[in-house]
Amino acid sequence: MFAQTLIALLSIFSLQALSIAQQPEQPVLRNQLPIAKYVGPARYAPKKKNAETFGVEVSAKAAVVVDVQSGQVLFEKNADQAMPIASLTKLITAMTLLDVHPDLQADVQYSPADRGRVGRVYVDLNDRFTTQKALELMLVGSSNESAHALARTHGGDDFIAAMNTKAKTLGMTHAVFYDPSGLNPNNEASAKDIAIALRSALSYPEIRKITEMSRVEATGEATGRNYLLHSTNLLLSSGLNKEPYHVIAGKTGSLDEAGFCFAQGTINKDGNEIIAVVLNSNNHFARFQDVKALTYWAFSNFEWPKGIVRATNRP
């Protein structure tokens, strides 16, 4: 009797295992992955071609390279160390703004109160722009006054709290924000935190489109003045933005306390996307060289599984 029962149970387990094995694999869309955490099916993660290749030397005090699809970390250097991030803050500012689904054609009136403690002022503080144009000025030209004007207009005193909540929701464990522009040196995060932020930002088509722009032109609605701000991302004119590569998003940041920072997302001809982040590089040009070297290294030394279904739409 016992033997018959055991045989019956084994048969049931075998049928269940066979049923599971016969179920087809369902490809996972990127916007279905938990953006807040680096988790993803191992079968979608890139594999290193040469196990003896450990990366490249960078001047940055902290750096990380992450595969967007799987969230796998491909390279890291002091990646969990919190440090000032300067204008990389504006990635969180942009997402916090877009999360409330503002009318992008609504006006934003600038004010002398939008001047930061340091930093260059790019537009007249008595001028007025649409929310869309102010967002472009902030992300392309890294206009600090635009960050403050947007935060004041679309959240006021609650905007900074919303930024910190956004960071916490995304899983940025070391991030803390005190202002929307990054001029406050107490704005801190780790390189992994910034990679999480940029990975999330890639799901906002508005941010992708704007950060691909090499320049932004604007005419002040209050003053009639014409403005031209060039992108702070020098790699938009580099080989990383020519076939077989394309820059899909990026943001710079610099401050005495933060050094020179940079985060960029790049896609190759096969549709594989990676993010490279460097914090506190030696100088203005070193941060671009650091990210360029890390990106070339990652695409050259990893191979991605074939047949992955990718999606870049905002969840």
CA 211 → CA 140, 154, 169, 248, 299, distances in Å? Answer: 6, 21, 23, 7, 21
Angle, in degrees to the nearest 10, between helices 159-170 and 191-201: 100
Phi then psi dihedrals of residue 138, to 5 deg: -70, -45
Distance CA 220, CA 146 (A): 13
Three-class SS state of 258: coil
Per-residue pLDDT of the chain (315 residues; tens, 9 = 90+): 444 444 444 444 343 333 333 333 333 333 333 333 334 456 678 998 887 777 889 999 999 999 999 999 999 999 999 999 999 999 999 999 999 999 999 999 999 989 876 667 889 999 999 999 999 999 999 999 999 999 999 998 899 999 999 999 999 999 999 999 999 999 999 999 999 999 999 999 999 999 999 999 999 999 999 999 999 999 999 999 999 999 999 999 999 999 999 999 999 999 999 999 999 999 999 999 999 999 999 999 999 998 655 544 433
In this structure, whether the domain defined by 30-303 belongs to CATH 3.40.710.10 is answered with: yes
Distance CA 293, CA 300 (A): 10
What tokens were used for 223?
């003053």
Which residues, in sequence order, are CB contacts of 55 under 8 Å at separation 6+?
A: 65, 75, 77, 294, 297
The answer to whether 85 touches 258, Cβ cutoff 8 Å, is yes
The answer to whether 283 touches 25, Cβ cutoff 8 Å, is no
Distance CA 74, CA 273 (A): 12
Domain spans of the chain, in order of start: 30-303
The answer to whether 213 touches 138, Cβ cutoff 8 Å, is no
